[in-house]
Amino acid sequence: MKYDLSILIPARNEMFLSKTIEDILSNIEGNTEIIVGLDGRWAEPAVKDDSRVTLVYYPESIGQRAMTNRLCNLSTAKYVMKVDAHCAFDKGFDVKMMNEMQDNWTMIPTMRNLHVLDWVCKNGHRRYQGPKGKCAECGEETTMEIVWNPKTRPQSNSFAFDAEPHFQYFNTFSKRKEGKGDLTESMSIQGSCFMCTREKYLELNLCDEAFGSGGSEGIEVACKTWLSGGRVVVNHKTWYGHLFRTQGKDFGFPYDQRGSQVETAKAFAKNLFFNNKWEKQILPLSWLLEKFWPIDTQSKNPDNNWSEKKLKELKESEKDLVFKKPLSRGIIFYTDNQLNLKIAHKVQNQLRTMGLPIVSASLKPMPHFGKNICLPLQRGITTMFKQQLAALEASDADIIYFCEADVVYHPSHFEFIPEKRDTFYYNTNVWKVRKEDGHSLWVDNCIQVSGLVGYREELIKHYRERVALAEAGPWDRNWGYEPGTPGKTIFPTQFKQETWMSKFPNLDIRHDNNLTLSRWSPKQFRDKKNCQGWTEKNVTEIVGWNNFTI
């Protein structure tokens, strides 16, 4: 069976492995499997048989990173999620994660502390999880009682590393504007749970065995994601609970966590990333620091905290380095400011979560939505062309996604990277949704400007020609509205047109003030080719938008 997600659990003598697997099975809602690596020891208690669970046994321990890599190689799913063997999860966490994922992201859920057990004596005295021992209150022997409670406090959504580097919580970032919302970025991760595509996991070698068995996992995964041009994203819509273990024999660290091992991994990470030696990076480490600056790590040793001096020294060491400049991506947004505010705010809030720079072109000032350009013109076709051109010229991104004010865009729309510069690409995965009742319509090969993606320089060239033609006389609808349409020889420069489909559809909200006519019956179309694939359903039935409301 082909799964969408493989959950990878490397485990060595983990007493809560079976409980973790039971928890995952009871909370997954998607097409998800679990692949478990039993590293040198069979599970005790035994893992119950389930068709969604695969056990891989190695009689001699190979180490946590090596085991995770073996498990990933067994997967055929698009996504993989590495998980520690002592975690609990939110209901439907797998679907909530996959629904928001993009191909160059590493994603983590909100992290909670997992209260696994108490030690209880015969007199009813309870002691919070830790090494076993006699009751501190009455001296009686204690027994373990499983609680399995992911505590709602504290919850962690932002992480960093200091200048040593040590893992650190970055709580002050969560209080900043950029740290709020359903999807936020994080400088680093904790390492006990992360999701990415299987392809990206292998391409970036996210669990490099040269680090050793364990240690500095979060720093490695985060730095490799960021410095290769990706993003580390925290999904606040779901959570997982992680057991932070003591050093007691009862549930300590089955994998080697001696100081020498930890220090070896840390030194390897520092040499690799602080000296910009990782062969796949296209960005320097100073770029990552400046992105999250100021970085308040509150290290126990003040000398390890980031400072302006340390940042300056790092940048000085990077001055002679040459990196391949990554292609930048950006959104242009255009509106006539006549849309119902409820729809307008839903569209704009969704676009803000994409993490891409936005240039907005409006007919009224919009100072709080991206870089705003206000053109005090009358609504119309020529005005729309001028808005699109003005936004293109104001953007500095290489790749541009056209976004309209009444289209709700799915995150998967922004995963697409155009291959050819002389071609304009259209996402045809779009449903038209009637505002009044959510009734929705699909037709095949729906090409419209709201799904356009292309390279900025070529788009500017085309729109300058388009605006010039529109200003020279009344616009002829036969000249077309979609750049690159075959046969439109009126334009001096000819571009090509291709289509693609995102993983999940966009929603084109149809209301009483659309610039183009809404049609809800095949009888309203003169050209029946535009009715091919005609499908109707309610918006709540559209995959990827089950909870959508207007």
What does the pLDDT look like over 172-225, one tens digit per residue?
999 998 999 999 999 999 999 999 999 999 999 999 999 988 889 999 999 999
pLDDT of 54 higher than 70? yes
Task: Assess contact for 88 and 150: CB atoms under 8 A.
Answer: yes
> Which residue, 3, 77, 15, 1, is CA-closest to 44?
15
Task: Assess contact for 442 and 533: CB atoms under 8 A.
Answer: yes
Q: Which domains are seen in the chain, by residue range? A: 5-108+162-318 (3.90.550.10), 329-541 (3.90.550)
> How deeply is 297 buried, as exposed, middle or buried, from its count of CB atoms within 10 A (0-12, 13-18, 19+)?
buried
- Could you write out the three-class secondary structure of 331-348? EEEECCCCCCHHHHHHHH
- Lowest average pLDDT, out of 336-340, 457-461, 543-547, goes to 543-547
pLDDT band at 74 (very low <50, low <70, confident <90, very high): very high
- Lowest average pLDDT, out of 192-206, 225-239, 332-346, 510-524, goes to 510-524
Average pLDDT of the residues of the chain: 91
Give the integer Cα–Cα distance in Å for 530 and 28: 39
pLDDT of 304 higher than 50? yes
Q: Classify strands 5-11 and 79-83 as parallel, antiparallel or unpaired.
A: parallel
Predicted pLDDT of residue 477: 83
pLDDT of 113 higher than 80? yes
436 vs 196, more confident: 196
Predicted pLDDT of residue 5: 98
**Mean of the pLDDT values across residues 453-480?**
93
Predicted pLDDT of residue 258: 52
299 vs 268, more confident: 268
DSSP summary character for residue 103: T
**Residues 463-470: contacts with CB under 8 Å, at least 24 apart:** 463/385, 463/388, 463/389, 463/392, 464/389, 465/491, 465/492, 465/493, 466/385, 466/389, 466/491, 467/382, 467/385, 467/386, 467/389, 470/381, 470/382, 470/385
Task: Assess contact for 476 and 450: CB atoms under 8 A.
Answer: no
Predicted pLDDT of residue 78: 95
Percent of the chain residues topping a pLDDT of 90: 76
- Provide DSSP, 143-190: EEEEEEEEEEEEEE--EEE-SS--EEE-HHHHTSGGG-SSEEE-S---
- Please tell me whether residue 416 adopts helix, strand or coil conformation: coil
- Lowest average pLDDT, out of 96-100, 261-265, 289-293, goes to 261-265
- Lowest average pLDDT, out of 267-271, 303-307, 530-534, goes to 530-534
pLDDT digits (tens, 9 = 90+) for 364-415: 999 999 999 999 999 999 999 999 999 999 999 999 999 999 999 999 999 9
Backbone angle region of 532, left / alpha / beta, with phi > 0 → left and psi within -120 to 50 → alpha: beta
pLDDT of 247 higher than 50? no
Give the integer Cα–Cα distance in Å for 480 and 490: 10
Predicted pLDDT of residue 257: 55
pLDDT of 473 higher than 90? no
Task: Assess contact for 169 and 159: CB atoms under 8 A.
Answer: yes
**Mean of the pLDDT values across residues 537-545?**
91
Give the integer Cα–Cα distance in Å for 433 and 438: 6
Give the integer Cα–Cα distance in Å for 194 and 107: 6
**Mean of the pLDDT values across residues 113-131?**
92
Give the integer Cα–Cα distance in Å for 306 and 293: 9
Which amino acid belongs to residue 337?
A: N
Task: Assess contact for 104 and 79: CB atoms under 8 A.
Answer: no
Which amino acid belongs to residue 218?
A: G
> Which residue, 206, 226, 225, is CA-closest to 217?
206
pLDDT digits (tens, 9 = 90+) for 56-69: 999 999 999 999 99
Give the integer Cα–Cα distance in Å for 486 and 528: 19
Task: Assess contact for 406 and 511: CB atoms under 8 A.
Answer: yes
Q: Count CB neighbours of 473 within 10 A.
A: 7
Give the integer Cα–Cα distance in Å for 23 and 361: 48
**Mean of the pLDDT values across residues 114-125?**
94
Percent of the chain residues topping a pLDDT of 70: 95
pLDDT of 531 higher than 60? yes
Task: Assess contact for 429 and 484: CB atoms under 8 A.
Answer: no
Residue in the structure block whose two tokens are 């290290």: 299
pLDDT digits (tens, 9 = 90+) for 340-367: 888 999 999 999 989 899 999 999 999 9
